[in-house]
A and B are shown apart, each in its own frame.
Chain A
Amino acid sequence: MPHSLQITAAAPDPALLDLPWHIPLEEWPAENLAALPRGISRHVVRFVKLSGRVIAVKEIGETVAYREYELLRALNRLDVPSVEPVGVITGRRSPSGERLEAVLITKHLQFSLPYRALFSQYLQPDTTGRLIDALAVLMVRLHLTGFYWGDVSLSNTLFRRDAETFAAYLVDAETGDLHERLSSGQRAYDLEVARVNIIGELMDLEAGDLLEQGVDTVAIGARLVERYEELWATLTDAESFDTGERWRVAARIERLNALGFDVGELDITTDVDGTSVRIQPKVVDAGHHSRRLMRLTGLDVQENQARRLLNDLDAYRAATDRQGEDEEFAAHDWLTTVFEPAVRAVPRELRTKLEPAQMFHEMLDHRWYVSREQGRDVPMAEAVRSYVEQVLRHRPDERAVLGAVPGVDSTALPRFEEG
């Protein structure tokens, strides 16, 4: 049998060719693996070392693999938080000529946390609730772009810390479909599947003694539905008012901005006699604060981290009395004199613990606590030193948390240093 391995990838890494594609994924040698995933999956999935990075490799039928690859590419182009596809490999054969399943390769999302890992470490109160809120935002964003997920669950989602909350990313698009727009039946069904899956996953954690005490799993499922519907209504409902109340147009836009969304297109219609106005957002884009921070500083961070950083930037402008000046200039100075020195003050060996923006957010929190405790305004440099020694040093490494061993302390989580 001629052996012809076919690699489909946008930017193939030649090192891909060195991986043992002739061996079933389940039997790959330990030297290739970064860790074994412990989540629940219906396919064989492995985290694999490649050129100093980590990739996720999933064995799956050929047509499904290509389909999911294209879907993930489309989602990336639409700027929806999802894992980045690397490629599809087909035509695998064992040395004896036996056909092996095709694989889909995605990049491991740095600093992301599977929900099982989150539950196996110390949880701040209401972590579950905040994960659910993040998932509701992700679902609304997906549905706004016309993506029907088909199998929404915590297992098919990854979470990244985002200031005091989380940001959710889509991991598994196997059952998904991209439409021009979704029918209300599609949205309702996706939401119902999500509700049942999430409650099931939480019941499973409960059965394994991994859930906070006294959590009402069914109520958490209901919270997802409630949050989703609230957000969807705020983003898409039409609103009518008298022509004299035109300030309400600006108010609606501000309300959406506060939720982290920009209004790309707003439909404004007046009735025949011109006495009332009806507005309805047509195109809304998530990431209002992160886009603003990106424009001002070039920093690419998540929405709530951006919100926090922008607040600190505002405080900096007020403190340095530069509110009259162009925002861009002040932002540049804030970046070089406040943000970068703080992040650079972290010893190199501790930098894989958290993303820089998340560290900065925690430094701000820490400075607030220390200042209150000591009854004085602690300077940033001093706060940073104290944060590194008292907080950061004791945190687990989160750059590559790949799986979780149920019931085991997070310090024992399988972890891989990425270069």
Chain B
Amino acid sequence: MATVTYDKATRIYPGTERPAVDALDLHIEDGEFLVLVGPSGCGKSTSLRMLAGLEDVNDGRILIGDRDVTDVQPKDRDIAMVFQNYALYPHMSVADNMGFALKIAGTPKADIRKRVEEAAKILDLSEYLDRKPKALSGGQRQRVAMGRAIVRQPQVFLMDEPLSNLDAKLRVQTRTQIASLQRRLGVTTVYVTHDQTEALTMGDRIAVLKDGLLQQVGTPRDMYDTPANVFVAGFIGSPAMNIGSFVVSDGAAQLGQTRIPLERSIVGSIKPEDKGHITIGFRPESLDIVTQAHEGAIPIKVVLVEELGSDAFVYGELAGAGAAAKDIHSGAGDAQIIVRVDPRQVPRKNETIWVAIRPGERHVFSAASGARITA
């Protein structure tokens, strides 16, 4: 077991100017499940491969425990890349399928059997050890593949989008399995995905990257409740957060007919480069339907209602704001606002509803830098 430390680790691909990973500082605790997440090209896979030894580190260091592994060959790093590769050997028993890498490494037979039995117990495969893979179900075969990595007892597991080639149903199942297995084993794990739902459901902590830069690292709850900047705010959560650019005047944020009062400290933090603007974010689930007279009420013209049984979502646009309507957007596309409403009381298409941000669920960011502003 070990910690993992990226110490200003940088990767610059030959022929490019912008680093693929830029001075990454990240400390992963012993036994922690850390998810690296971000859009494609953000540097998450490169970061993982730097830890695996597959990418050169141009600057900075990488440590596993106290050991600097920056220049150590991949096979000498005591890590295991876990594939969801269940191409099992048909003539070998389940035990041999799990233990053959140890046999190659010259581990004594008794040790191999002991480690295989331990892994099988965790994986619920004890009674199948002497059978052939043919006798196993799809899920069991996948667990055998996991067992191959487990018996090697590495310091760190690395997983790079391991679920990407599974169908949707199996993906959800395997997601839960990997997460609970990791907790039982307690092996430090670094997991890469582009899928924020996967990140939220699996990780002890999540590190969000964009353009090679670490945006924020924290628990799923941190990322959801207090995103450090506009990018994280828009990336984490589904449906995505509504984000609008407001004009600050007379101590309030204004957009079209909407006027949201701002705390004095927030107004005070506005800098010249913000050019009198402020960015406000609010999640679809942070809105209440109110009357027009309510302070800070936002008028929304309903374009579409999506009913999901347990939930209903209104997709609409800012009403009566003219050209300013495009200054607010969400994950559903430009100039759209998403509102979660009571599925028993859904508004009709073309109707205008008024919503207000629930107290304490408003996110404020600098218009120029995108950084979070705390009141």
Mark A residues whose CB is within 8 Å of B. Answer: 40-43, 60-61, 63-64, 101, 148, 151, 153, 155, 174-175, 180-181, 183, 185-186, 188-189, 192, 195-196, 199-201, 203-205, 207-208, 210, 218, 221, 406
Contacts and interface: CB of A to CB of B under 8 A. Distances in A.
Interface residues of B, number: 30
B110 interface: no
Contact of B104 (A205, A208, A210, A218): A218
Contact of B166 (A40, A61, A148): A61
B224 interface: no
A63 B164 contact: yes
Contact of B75 (A40, A188, A204, A208): A188
Contacts of A189: 52-54, 74-75
A204 B55 contact: no
B54 A208 contact: no
B300 to A, nearest CB: 31
B141 to A, nearest CB: 9
A148 B74 CA distance: 14
- Majority-rule SS of B interface residues: loop
Contacts of B104: 195-196, 199-200, 218, 221
24 contacts: A40-B89, A40-B90, A41-B87, A42-B86, A64-B165, A151-B83, A175-B83, A180-B13, A181-B14, A183-B56, A185-B54, A188-B53, A189-B52, A189-B53, A189-B54, A192-B74, A195-B104, A196-B101, A196-B104, A199-B104, A200-B89, A203-B96, A203-B103, A207-B89
A152 to B, nearest CB: 12
Contact of B87 (A155, A183, A208, A210): A155
Nearest to A204: B89
Contact of B92 (A186, A192, A207, A210): A207
Contacts of B164: 61, 63-64
Contacts of B14: 180-181
Contacts of A180: 13-15
Interface in B50-94: 52-56, 73-75, 83-92
Q: Quick one: which of B73, B84, B85, B89 has the most chain A CB within 10 A?
A: B89
A94 to B, nearest CB: 14
B167 interface: yes
B128 interface: no
Contacts of A218: 104
Given A61-B165, A101-B167, A207 B74 contact: no
A151 B89 contact: no
Contacts of B55: 183, 185-186
Contact of B54 (A63, A181, A186, A205): A186
Contacts of B13: 180
Nearest to A186: B54
B193 to A, nearest CB: 13
A188 to B, nearest CB: 5
B231 interface: no
Contact of A42 (B74, B87, B96): B87
